[in-house]
A and B are shown apart, each in its own frame.
Chain A
């Protein structure tokens, strides 16, 4: 099971509506994944500022003190805003360095995302309540990806919730399961990727991060992943500029794409798209197996 929705806006006039439209889509797929939910929103950039989203695993974290230590360690201005059990840390310093420092020094928390544009939030429980609680509805931006999870093979935890992000402004959501993730995780560690969970989907995210760090385009990285990844998957991937969809060669996991002049939308099922403006006249199709679909902002 599990449900995925994605919305990539082509018409900037809709950007204030991004969160509300995405939340409506998530609600339609709550029964596909009633255990937990997560979402990534791209937008709200400030030049030269990297945003790092974190979530506390257990207990409490004194974020103002952490921010001060991070500022000293990286020699950069750092601010922090707490939202429920999340903290959004803003730094004018190097984003990769700040992410690594937080993983090493704040074991009570997971770093969910890092980038100029991306913000990721996750919660356990009814997806409808999670998106309400973490104010997806009020968020503006250019594109968003969300996931509702039905845990089948591991516990219902924040660590197992999607989206997964291991590199700057990149995230991935996954419906399916991978069988060669352990060996691939070892390979990616040797290439310098940092992991925070034992989850197979995090490996897929890290694979794309690694390929793009090596200079591949989003499209080329996904093309490569068809060879590198073994298992079942429908992926929806976000980057600062791009939005992509890929299904495995068997295409077991359901997927529907729709496009109008104003937006591109992905839904695990059509009903997730039924509330979008202009969907009546949208071009609607089922993505082909082993075919990379990419959209990009100019």
Chain B
């Protein structure tokens, strides 16, 4: 049997516990079905590293994926809550607009790339370029992030409980970076900044949203952001134009 058919429940009632098995359905079939749904709980089985699983959802959906996913999982997500019980490949939650994406394992490069809103929680480690060019998304990484993370990050928050690799926040705009561990090196125009009460409060909210507020002390974090010397016009650079 491919999957349980979508029961046409009474109007307004969430459809519960629909299982979609990628061993018997294509990614396109699964995505199309979820695009048509406005609410409900779904369990996706046998993802086997396939690409673009649950990309482009827009609805009050709760989706759990049992296993490892490939590239661009949960890309462009709006409103939906997506749990990945495994690792994710390149570009998980890329260009996410809102909602929640929670990865229980590790993620590959460019997690949350260009994300505009919502929350991305990564229980494991993220590799290179985590939060590249993020534009309002919040990311909480319980492990460490790789090199060039938050490259050209424009807005939003990147919280890292572990360490950061080389060139953190290179060419950063106005995103805020909170790091508990060590940073290998800072990127161009990224500097350490004061951790004021407003930042501690903001960080506490982010940790609460990630479900670890009680277990983590915000005073252990340092804040990094833009020195604003790179993206603002400076008269002494006139000769370079």
Contact = CB atoms under 8 A, between A and B. Distances in A.
Interface of A: 28, 251, 254, 256, 269-274, 284-286, 289
Contacts of B109: 251, 254, 286
Given A271-B70, A284-B68, A289 B147 contact: yes
B129 to A, nearest CB: 9
Contacts of A274: 48-49, 68
Contacts of A251: 109, 127-128, 146-147
Contacts of B128: 251, 289
A271 B147 contact: no
Interface in B52-89: 68, 70-71, 87, 89
A285 B109 CA distance: 12
Interface string B145-160: 0110000000000000
29 contacts: A28-B49, A251-B109, A251-B127, A251-B128, A251-B146, A254-B89, A254-B90, A254-B108, A254-B109, A256-B108, A269-B49, A269-B71, A270-B49, A270-B70, A270-B87, A270-B89, A271-B49, A273-B49, A274-B48, A274-B68, A284-B68, A284-B87, A284-B105, A284-B106, A285-B106, A286-B106, A286-B108, A286-B109, A289-B146
A272 B90 CA distance: 15
A271 B50 contact: yes
Task: Please name the 4 residue pairs, one residue from A and one from B, whose CB atoms are nearest each other, closest first.
Answer: A271-B49, A270-B49, A274-B48, A286-B127
Contacts of B71: 269
A271 B71 CA distance: 10
A284 B109 CA distance: 15
A54 to B, nearest CB: 36
A269 B127 CA distance: 14
A107 B197 CA distance: 75
B84 to A, nearest CB: 12
Which residue of B68, B89, B90, B109 has the most chain A CB atoms within 10 A of its CB atom? B68
Contacts of B87: 270, 284
A269 B89 contact: yes
Contacts of B127: 251, 286
Contacts of B48: 271, 274
A226 to B, nearest CB: 15
A256 B68 CA distance: 12
Nearest to A289: B147
A284 B106 CA distance: 9
A62 to B, nearest CB: 46
Contacts of A269: 49, 70-71, 89
Nearest to B49: A271
Nearest to A274: B48
* Most chain A beta-carbon contacts within 10 A, residue among B49, B50, B105, B147: B49
A273 B68 CA distance: 11
A293 B105 CA distance: 22
B68 A270 contact: yes
A270 to B, nearest CB: 4
A269 B108 CA distance: 10
Contacts of B105: 284
Contacts of B89: 254, 269-270
Given A251-B109, A251-B128, A289-B128, 19 more contacts: A28-B49, A251-B127, A254-B108, A269-B71, A269-B89, A270-B49, A270-B89, A271-B48, A271-B70, A272-B49, A273-B49, A274-B48, A274-B49, A274-B68, A284-B87, A284-B105, A284-B106, A286-B106, A286-B109
A5 B70 CA distance: 16
Interface in B78-117: 87, 89-90, 105-106, 108-109
A28 B89 CA distance: 15
B69 to A, nearest CB: 8
Contacts of B49: 28, 269-274
Instruction: Tell which of A28, A271, A284 has the most Cβ of chain B within 10 Å.
Output: A271
A38 B117 CA distance: 44
A51 B128 CA distance: 42
A269 B87 CA distance: 12
A272 B48 CA distance: 9
Contacts of B70: 269-271
A265 to B, nearest CB: 13
B85 to A, nearest CB: 11
A269 B71 CA distance: 9
Nearest to B48: A274
Nearest to A273: B49
Contacts of A254: 89-90, 108-109
A251 to B, nearest CB: 6
A100 B87 CA distance: 47
Counting chain B CB atoms within 10 Å of each CB, the highest count among A273, A284, A285, A286 belongs to: A286
